[in-house]
Structure 1
Amino acid sequence: MAKQLLIYDRATPINADTHKDVSVKMTGAYGFARDVNSVPIVAAEFSAAAADCVIVFAGTAEAVFPAVLLGVENDRNEYVDENGAWIGRYIPAFLRRYPFVFAQNPDGNQLTLCIDEGFEGVNSDGRGERLFDSEGERSSFLQSQLEFATQYQSQYLRTKAFCDRLLALDLLEPAVANFTGDDNQPRRLAGFFRIDRAKLKALSPEVLGEMFASDELELCYVHLQSFANIETLSIKLAENAARGQSLQ
């Protein structure tokens, strides 16, 4: 699995002194995500992401978090074309919030909104949306980005609780995805976890009832159903390989 935070080059805390004259021109392109083959998603995204992505659990046997597979090679995202356009049905919130991100202070008790100063749309020329107005107050644009990041963080905590329950119930197992490569040869992708359907069905009625009431049971089955999208990923791999050959 790829290192997702590589999309951030210089995540810097936002403040009115440093960024008083800074504007952000949102390009609508996703070239910054071209080199990642997976990104995290939160529980609220499962249904939408399952439209054309495979949802897995990335991490270790002690700590996992959901992610969507975007490619089968470490440095290749099959959902971004050569012009940086997204060619899938659903764009993960992790990417939609870019170039903004929350970062914890060293004590871990406070979150600060940061911006990737390496993003091509960050400028001091007045292009796009300003971060602060002439009085040094947050602009409506910055406020909306803060609200989006806050909502994401809230969903992150809910999703972490869901993952903790899966681990406590010992429902996860190492998994592999079998697919056809761009050379039409069988390939395998490993290094992630999936829910063991048999163990899920064997849970007690009381535990299943709790998971049903919290919508966690639905998340489990959406995750399992999403593995049907391995074929979608294989098709994108072949289409992108053909497109690359046609551009040569």
Structure 2
Amino acid sequence: MARYVALSKSDHRDSGLVAASNRHALTQAVVPVVAEELFQVLPTMPVAFVRASDDAPYELVALQSLQPGVNVYVHTNGRWIGGYRPAWYRSHPFRLVRDESGTRRIVCVDEESEAFEKDAGPDAVRLFGMDGEPTPKTRDLMTFLEKLEQSREVTQALVNHLDEAGLIVPWKISASNPKGEGGHDVNGVYHVDEAAMRELPPETASRLLKNGALSIAYAQLLSEHRLQGLVRLYELRAEANKQAKPADDVDLEALFADDDDDDLKF
């Protein structure tokens, strides 16, 4: 279980990072994404909206499963098999967290992550140098986190515009296992109401076009055909679990014919 604590030179002077798997993402059915990376996300993942409660704002996410507690883009051995890896995962094991006053963001690290070593071994990339200052790697990570947070805030504002225009509605999805059995409705997932978008008053449509919110709306709608890819990944996951097909051999270009796995760099 994640245990985020504030990164500090006093507590983490001897700490470092090591190569690790993606097991921390194994049970995540959705992952937050930002508008800036949608071009990379769309080739392999459906995009949707979720909310923590009825009065909470909608959040832009990529769907990684139609069942809770499952991520079909991560092999059970922890290897990522989904092509592009969203920025949220690439920031692991770090997060920017607001302090108690809510006015300042603090870099925190998950001390329970297998990528983190409190007492760094010889193969670890140190977080602080001998002088107690952040290493170039740590400074790069801090810059990445700041840019990701800025992109998240911009994305959230655009999603809020779509909501205010009445364009986000429940997405009726029915799912079954790879054998076509055990069908169930997927709840708590939302998408853009395409019919309502076509009927927007000209001034509203113009405003959403100028502020960039319509770009997210179109991207979400275009991504919906990726739902079938989730079903096929269920099948590949089942094969890989039986060692009939190693995760390394999964051919995403064949699975998603128009795949583009360019890395997003903030």
Distance 1:150 1:117 in 2: 20
* DSSP 3-state at the match of 1:151: helix
Distance 1:167 1:61 in 2: 13
* DSSP 3-state at the match of 1:223: helix
TM-score by length of 1: 0.91
Superposed CA deviations along residues 62-91 of structure 1, whole A, max 9, x for unmatched, are: 411011111122111100112211111221
Q: Which has the higher strand share?
A: 1
Match of 1:132 among 116, 125, 128: 128
Distance 1:129 1:207 in 2: 50
Task: Look up the match of 1:107.
Answer: 101
Moved over 6 A (4+): none
> Which amino acid in 2 is paired with 1:50?
L
Match of 2:86 among 92, 97, 105: 92
Matched, 1:213 2:205: no
Q: Is the 8 A contact 1:182 1:237 kept in 2?
A: yes
Which stretch of the first structure deviates more once superposed, 124-133 or 75-84? 124-133
Q: 1:182 Cα shift?
A: 2.1
> Which amino acid in 2 is paired with 1:71?
S
Q: Is the 8 A contact 2:161 2:208 kept in 1?
A: no
> Which amino acid in 2 is paired with 1:176?
K
Report 1:154-169 matches (<5 A).
Answer: 154-169=150-165
CA RMSD of aligned residues (A): 1.6
Task: Look up the match of 1:4.
Answer: none
Q: Is the 8 A contact 1:179 1:231 kept in 2?
A: no
Task: Look up the match of 1:47.
Answer: 39
Q: Is the 8 A contact 1:22 1:126 kept in 2?
A: no
Distance 1:158 1:69 in 2: 21
Report 1:237-248 matches (<5 A).
Answer: 237-246=234-243
Identity level (%): 22
TM-score by length of 2: 0.85
Q: How many residues align?
A: 239
Task: Look up the match of 1:17.
Answer: 10
Q: Is the 8 A contact 1:9 1:117 kept in 2?
A: yes
Superposed CA deviations along residues 3-31 of structure 1, whole A, max 9, x for unmatched, are: xxxxx61111011111111111133x211
Task: Look up the match of 2:142.
Answer: 146
Q: 1:203 Cα shift?
A: 1.2
Q: Is the 8 A contact 1:179 1:230 kept in 2?
A: no
Q: Is the 8 A contact 2:161 2:213 kept in 1?
A: no
Task: Look up the match of 1:35.
Answer: 27
* DSSP 3-state at the match of 2:229: helix
Q: 1:179 Cα shift?
A: 4.0
> Which amino acid in 1 is paired with 2:170?
P
Distance 1:224 1:130 in 2: 43
Q: 1:173 Cα shift?
A: 0.7
Q: 1:174 Cα shift?
A: 0.9
Q: 1:180 Cα shift?
A: 4.3
